[in-house]
């Protein structure tokens, strides 16, 4: 139930204000670099979370 409350806090205006504050702090030139780093981090996290599944598949293949 708390998750729904948290998701309800951020509307369009709040997100716009946050984006403006980020633009002021980091400037227009630094934001693409930040987003590139964020994208790499998310990609690595997804790969790491899929690794246990890959390990299970390898183990199952060896048992057969």
What's the domain count of the chain? Answer: 1
In this prediction, residue 1 carries a pLDDT of 47
For 52, the domain range is 2-63
Q: In the chain, how many H helices and how many E strands?
A: 2, 0
In this prediction, residue 40 carries a pLDDT of 93
In this prediction, residue 44 carries a pLDDT of 92
Distance CA 59, CA 56 (A): 5
Q: In this predicted model, what pLDDT tens digit does every residue of 1-53 receive, in sequence order?
A: 455 555 567 788 888 898 889 888 888 888 888 889 989 999 999 888 887 66
Tell me the three state secondary structure of residue 50.
helix
pLDDT band, very low/low/confident/very high, at 60 (cuts 50, 70, 90): low
Q: In this predicted model, what pLDDT tens digit does every residue of 46-59 receive, in sequence order?
A: 888 887 665 555 55
Q: Which of 15, 44, 20, 46 is nearest to 31 (CA)?
A: 20
């Amino acid at each position: 139930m708390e998750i729904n409350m948290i998701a309800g806090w951020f509307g369009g205006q709040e997100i716009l204000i946050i984006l403006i504050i980020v633009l002021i702090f980091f400037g227009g030139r630094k934001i693409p670099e930040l987003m590139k780093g964020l994208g790499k981090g998310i990609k690595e996290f997804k790969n790491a979370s899929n690794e246990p599944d890959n390990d299970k598949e390898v183990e199952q293949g060896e048992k057969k």
